[in-house]
Structure 1
Amino acid sequence: MEENLYFAYGSNLDLEQMAQRCPDAEIVGPVRLENYELRFRGSGFATVAPKKGSVVYGLVWKITPNCEQSLDRYEGYPRHYTKETMTVKDAAGAELPVMVYIMAEPYCRQPALPSPYYYRVIQRGFEANGLPVESLQAAWDRTVDEVFSGKLDKPRNKKSERRKEPER
């Protein structure tokens, strides 16, 4: 049976979820995607984007064609996510070519906070697989900064905002 390697960095890190979605998938192990960062975009879902010096932590799964079809449906391929082949590194530094879902245009340009439920699913996956939860928190913090930068009004001086009566 043909099998491919798939890099999970979001909710597919959750072992229970993957067991239901892809019962034939097997864990290969934790890895890192270098020079990328984890982001929340679109409707608050995870994606990765190039960023020199950054790292995205995740898990490699060995998947069957049936697993990939199931993941395609879940990820909304090709409309919401596209697929790319990238290279990740395992703990020993070995490089592995993997399939990665990347959020499609225009969704990938729209920062959005994840739902608490979705975030907790990813967090559970990070914890279960020994991945650094701090990197997930950092993605949350960056998204908060993006979503709210420039959108919070400064306190206004009410006196200066009073409409001047037209002169008669």
Structure 2
Amino acid sequence: MKRLYIAYGSNLNVRQMKMRCPKVTILGTAKLKGWELLFKGSKSGSYLTIEKKENGIVPVVIWEVSESDEKALDRYEGYPTFYYKKDIKLQYKEIRTGKRRTINAFAYIMHEERQIGVPSLFYLNTCLDGYDTFYFDKQILLNAYKNSMEMCENEK
């Protein structure tokens, strides 16, 4: 059984996704409206998540994943301890045809009580590679990074 998955962070990196989930297919791209990107985490590191925000926009890729791919993603994302899954209705643009389709797909969202943090440069660059691949506005990702840096500085 195949499911549709919304990627917004390191899973925009096609090479990494194909290694982790060999059966995935890229369906298209979308703008997730009413959400924002945040870097949050734990002592082991900070990673991207999304949270509701009026007027927010997050560029995303829609992947079609097999059951075994989803299990591999669950392990990678630390589901259900670190991230939970949420079904979101959105419209995406097909990569091959350019047609727009409305779908329900799942996203991994970090538990909201996690603290804002600063990611490693390796993780940030992995996400930036995905932004380059899909011609997303990198400023959205860089703004999330800048906001995290500022919030962490203010806590000191």
Question: Which TM-score applies when normalising by structure 1?
Answer: 0.84
Structure 2 residue identity aligned to 1:98: A
Structure 1 residue identity aligned to 2:107: V
The structure 2 residue matched to 1:106, chosen from 113, 124, 127, is: 113
Name the residue aligned to 1:79: 81
Which 10-residue stretch deviates more, 132-141 or 83-92? 83-92
Please state how far the C-alpha of 1:30 moved relative to its aligned partner.
1.1
* Deviations, residues 105-141 of structure 1 (Å, cap 9, x unaligned): 532xx01011000000000001011111111111111
In 2, distance between residues paired with 1:93 and 1:145?
37
In 2, distance between residues paired with 1:52 and 1:74?
29
In 2, distance between residues paired with 1:90 and 1:65?
22
Give structure 1 regions of 4+ aligned residues with deviation exceeding 4 angstroms. none
In 1, distance between residues paired with 2:73 and 2:155?
37
Question: Which TM-score applies when normalising by structure 2?
Answer: 0.90
Structure 2 unpaired stretches of 5+: 94-98
Please state how far the C-alpha of 1:35 moved relative to its aligned partner.
0.4
Q: Is residue 8 of structure 2 the alignment partner of residue 9 of structure 1?
A: yes
In 1, distance between residues paired with 2:101 and 2:15?
27
Name the residue aligned to 1:118: 123
In 2, distance between residues paired with 1:11 and 1:22?
13
Please state how far the C-alpha of 1:32 moved relative to its aligned partner.
1.3
Task: Pick the structure with greater CA Rg.
Answer: 1
Which 10-residue stretch deviates more, 128-137 or 115-124? 128-137
In 1, distance between residues paired with 2:109 and 2:57?
15
- With over 3 angstroms needed to count, the CA separation of the structure-2 counterparts of 1:150 and 1:41, relative to structure 1, is closer
* Deviations, residues 43-67 of structure 1 (Å, cap 9, x unaligned): 3100000000011111000000000
Name the residue aligned to 2:96: none
Name the residue aligned to 1:89: 91
Aligned residue pair count: 148
The alignment's C-alpha RMSD in Å is 1.3
In 2, distance between residues paired with 1:106 and 1:37?
16
Percent identity between matched residues is: 32
